[in-house]
Amino acid sequence: MILVMSVFNPEVKPLLEVMLKIEEGELLGRSYTRGLIGKNEVVVASGFVGKVETAALAQKFIDEFSPRLIVMTSGAGAIDSSIEPGTVVIGSEFLEYDLYLPLRSGHISVPTTASVALDHIKQLMPDATYGRIITGDQILADTKKRDELFKQYHACCLDMDSAALARVAKMNRVPFLVIKVILDKCDENSENDFGINFERYGQKPAKILAELLRTHVLEIK
């Protein structure tokens, strides 16, 4: 079984449109849909914000469904100023920039582990950007702070969820993959850009994943 998680409900619509639905339910107050896409059994869940909700929901769904692969599909803000809205970013490494552990050599970095799914993504999306994603519990709309974070971490983009998912998946030894689309550039225009680009690009990661699931078996044994 594959667990797909996304922040906002509209982001997962492309997956639900191609799914042969078997079950609908609720965990921790969030709805989910289970069914088949191609030859893959999939559970799709959405409706959470920030690291705490992401971690809590990921653990609950792992306990309930024992997925063999977790995929996060959602939006992010670019901190590399050369990356434009609409760009698909595949996370290769994840780090919480607002968590510092001085007795454990600073920040904890978690690499992606879903190599089989990643290989399929690279074939389907050769023009996607691959790189580090950093996560924190705040919306960034400050060019100076954005540039400082880029200088410090050399990451592609910033979000509020993927590093939390990465840590939970790693602790449970579940392979995971993160597919993001850039919706803003973490600058003073972020709020306006996010609204416009969410309508334009917000479903892009789910569309990519839906095509993968329709044409490939991503179950990892």
Active site residues per annotation: 11, 184
Q: Where are the beta strands (DSSP E) in 30-153?
A: 30-37, 40-46, 69-78, 88-96, 109-111, 129-135
Least Cα distance to 150 among 161, 138, 134 occurs for 134
Distance from C-alpha of 37 to C-alpha of 134, rounded to nearest angstrom: 30
CA distances (Å), origin 153, targets 72, 93, 146, 166, 201: 21, 11, 11, 17, 26
Distance from C-alpha of 165 to C-alpha of 103, rounded to nearest angstrom: 23
